[in-house]
Amino acid sequence: MDFPDTPEDVPTLPSYKTTAADNLGSEEIAELQARGIDPYATAADGTACLQQAKLPLARLIFAARFAAIFKTPDMARSLVSPQAVTLLSIPDDEERQVFFDMFPDILEQTAKALDDFGINVHGIAVAELPNVQAASSNRGRKDFNDKVDRLIAEGNNVIVCARTRDDLPPSGKLLWMRTATLPPMTGDMVIEILRQTHSITGQVSEAAIRDRLPDDLALQALHMPLLKSAFTEQTTLMVAARLYALTRRLDTGKVARGPTLDAIYLPPQAQQEMQHLLGDLAQWRTGHLPWSEVTSSVLLYGPPGTGKTLLAQALAGSAGIPLIATSYGICQKAGHQGDFLRTLSESVEKTIASAPCVFFVDELDSFSKRSVSHRNSGYVAAIVNALLEHITTLNNTAGVIVLGATNLPENVDPAIIRPGRFDRHTALENPDRAGIKRIFEIELGASAQDLDLAPAADRLLGMSGAQVAAVVRDARGQARHSNTTLGNHHLKAAVDHVAPEGRQEDLHRIAIHEAGHAVVAHSLDLPLPDMVRITARGGAYHGKMPFAATKKTVCDQIAVTLGGRAAEAVLLGSVSNGAEADLEQATELAFKARYSWGLYANNLLSVGSVKLAQLDPLDPLGSVVNSDIKGHYLRAKEIVEGNAKLVERVAEALLEQREIDGDALAEVLAAHDITNSDRPTEALVG
């Protein structure tokens, strides 16, 4: 929404439509801007707005922040829902008092913008929670509650300035509709204020101002007196420069924000690695460990929603150091290649100046491989080379922890993620059952003790941590809208939205399928998986391929891959589409064994460039691979037929537990004798 017009009591000069910049060339404009003069804010005749000292700056600043709450018409209309209560969360006592005192003027300034949305502000009343000391007294609390009750009884749409929803009296909680947070100061707000306070034309040198402004995180550290002092500068560009100078004096980069590692879920291995890194950082800061001994660069990889960005924030929060984050998308947004490289360089320079700190670069897979030839090869090479240089520089800067994140590490240029640039590679996978319960406990807080989390955790297996957190928000929203305490039925309803309960017969088929993989692996003495899981959406079998693949190990692995399909055929009498990924993996292994890895004595020719999608069972290559796969499938079926009861037992355990780790699976398998196939590996294929 646009910032409201200047109120009548704010001193202004006549409006000019023609700016000084309209009559200047780009070099002349740049020269004036370098001297701190804004030709866009100055009229063509040289008239400038020089009455800053008389402006109600505090009111304008608070109005800008208040207006930023209403990003959409729906958000604005929710403010005036009939007889509704909106909580405006302002934790700081002093800021809450100042805002409350100015609220009538602030509301008047935002009235025009709200009127554009068809919203009448005259039915809005406001109540303010007193400071902590007064609010904790019986008299202070009673006065506050009485005022809220009175405003509600009069039929007002009430805005309550308080800390949290817990501050509301019972009537306020009952009519509560939403919580709004007064946004902190941003660069966008500064520019909109400058259009009114420092421009005779309504225009400003926006790009030049943004170049001079500190980032939003730094701006947030400036209290009202400092903000007001900066706006007393004569021109827009001088204001921006003053704001930057103030943030540098405050050393805002040293102010830690965000979550901590204790407040988020991480897989045990990742949690341990981050704690070790924190310990090393602490020893370095006290002079007990040289920085060269600290493993300070970590690549975070895994599916979307597994907490890579959150981990970076939490690491910085736990260490009490700033986080400087960038990404391919952020740099690309700056413009052409030169702007991209400049933006990347600026973030690196800021990182070095802020040490000790965390530097986080996201979307590493967007920095594609230089070895791939395409029409943008030159552009890609320049970008990747610059990133390589910057990462090397940061790794050589004491106190800088470098974190990179990618969903697809195989798509990242190998030089970026090699040891020396990212020494440690940490996987962040979707949480297991224990992890899901831990996320529930973190997100729900004390409410978790009153809920049965196990059924929800079972159904959410296979989903990301972000999805689990979203389920909690959904459950809370349902409880809120029904004005009841969060209960198991709210949690179940939220889970139903993302993980509907499947049919029992489908779940049984999935369990038989995954059990088939496990039993065939056990019969062939292959390593058992780290984890086997079943959900209504499918199963997961996290097995490992031997590092040194021989003809026998590859043939055995293909049999394991086909064990799920074989189990369905033998025990259920039919197969399903659940074996699609298995068939794809079996085809790839069979093809590579014969035509890429040279595992067959009669063929040393590598045709690895042939795409599997081009294989046809009727063509020579496809016919041979198809014949190999059929042989492995027959072997898998024989193993399943000889161990049908064991397959059923493993399936029963999966249906009961939904997720079994490797150790528990080994116990189930060890309780039964195993029958192997009489079909020798060498007889399966030539």
- Per-residue confidence band for 96, with pLDDT thresholds at 50, 70 and 90: confident
Tell me the per-residue pLDDT of 502-558, one tens digit each, with 9 for 90 and over: 788 888 999 999 999 999 999 998 888 888 988 888 888 877 766 677 889 899 999
Residue 82, amino acid: P
Q: State how far the Cα of 413 lies from the Cα of 422, in Å rounded to an integer.
A: 12
With a cut of 60, say whether residue 305 has pLDDT above it: yes
Is the model's pLDDT at 105 over the cut of 90? Answer: no
Looking at per-residue confidence, does 111 or 485 come out higher?
485
Least confident window among 103-112, 436-445, 584-593: 103-112
DSSP annotation of 418 reads S
**pLDDT of 166 higher than 60:** yes
Pairing verdict, β 538-541 and 531-535: antiparallel
What's the rounded Cα separation, in Å, for the pair 109 and 19? 26
Q: By the 8 A CB rule, do 461 and 535 touch?
A: yes
pLDDT score, position 312: 94
Q: Could you report the per-residue pLDDT of 316-363, keeping only the tens digit for each?
A: 989 888 899 999 888 888 778 888 888 898 888 888 877 788 999 998
Q: Looking at domain 261-427, which of 3.30.365.10, 3.40.50.720, 3.40.50.740, 3.40.50.300 is its CATH number?
A: 3.40.50.300
Mean pLDDT of 653-666: 89
**21-68 confidence digits (pLDDT tens):** 888 999 999 999 999 999 999 988 888 775 554 667 888 888 888 777
- Name the band, by pLDDT with cuts 50, 70 and 90, for residue 121: low
Band (653; pLDDT cuts 50, 70, 90): very high
- CATH number corresponding to 504-684: 1.20.58.760
Averaged pLDDT score across all residues of the chain: 82
| Strand pairing class (297-301; 424-427) | parallel
Q: Which amino acid is at 84?
A: A
Residue percentage of the chain with pLDDT more than 70: 83
Q: What is the mean pLDDT of residues 124-133?
A: 73
User: Measuring CA to CA, which residue among 225, 206, 215 is closest to residue 247?
Assistant: 215
More confident residue, 424 or 256: 424
Listed in sequence order, the DSSP H helices in 542-643 are 551-561, 563-567, 580-595, 620-642
Q: Pick the range with the lowest mean pLDDT from 106-115, 197-206, 362-371.
A: 106-115
Q: For residue 371, what pLDDT is reported?
A: 57
Q: Which residue has the higher pLDDT, 595 or 272?
A: 272
pLDDT of amino acid 37: 92
Whether 571 shows a pLDDT value over 60: the answer reads yes
| Residue 9 predicted with pLDDT over 50 | no
pLDDT of residue 284: 82
Q: Any bridge partners for residue 406, and if so which?
A: 301
Domains 261-427 and 504-684 share a fold: no
Say how far apart CA 170 and CA 165 lie, in whole Å.
10
* Domain residue ranges in the chain: 57-181, 185-253, 261-427, 433-498, 504-684
Show contacts of 440-446: CB within 8 Å, 24+ apart.
440/468, 440/472, 442/263, 442/264, 442/265, 443/468, 443/469, 443/472, 443/473, 444/472, 444/486
19-56 b/e (C-beta count within 10 Å ≥ 16 → b):
bbbeebeeeebeebbeebbbbbbbbbeeebbeebeebb
Q: Which residue has the higher pLDDT, 216 or 587?
A: 587
- Give the pLDDT confidence score for residue 631 in this predicted structure: 93
- Residue 82: pLDDT band with limits 50, 70, 90: low
Provide the pLDDT for residue 134: 57
Q: Looking at residue 348, what is its pLDDT?
A: 87
State residue 611's pLDDT score: 63
Higher pLDDT, 510 or 14: 510
User: In this predicted structure, what is the pLDDT of residue 75?
Assistant: 59
Segment 130-151 mean pLDDT: 77
Q: Is 432 a residue whose pLDDT tops 60?
A: yes
Q: Residue 427: its pLDDT value, please?
A: 92
H or E element, residue 182 = none
Highest mean pLDDT among 106-110, 133-137, 375-379, 450-454: 450-454
Mean pLDDT of all residues in 299-316: 92
Q: What is the pLDDT of residue 118?
A: 65
CA distance readout (Å), 353 to 298, 330, 356, 607:
21, 20, 9, 52
Q: What is the pTM of this model?
A: 0.54
Domain 433-498: give its CATH code.
Answer: 1.10.8
pLDDT higher than 70, residue 378: no
Distance CA 547, CA 544 (A): 9
Is residue 8 very low, low, confident or very high in pLDDT (cuts 50, 70, 90)?
very low
In this predicted structure, what is the pLDDT of residue 125? Answer: 80
Smallest Cα–Cα separation from 34: which of 235, 229, 224, 237?
A: 237
Instruction: Tell me what the mean pLDDT of segment 192-213 comes to.
Output: 92
C-alpha–C-alpha distance, residues 406 and 308, integer Å: 8
Task: Identify the pLDDT of residue 34.
Answer: 92
Task: Rank 107-121, 242-256, 574-588, 610-624 by mean pLDDT and report only the highest.
Answer: 574-588
The string of DSSP letters for 540-565 reads EE-----SS--HHHHHHHHHHHTHHH
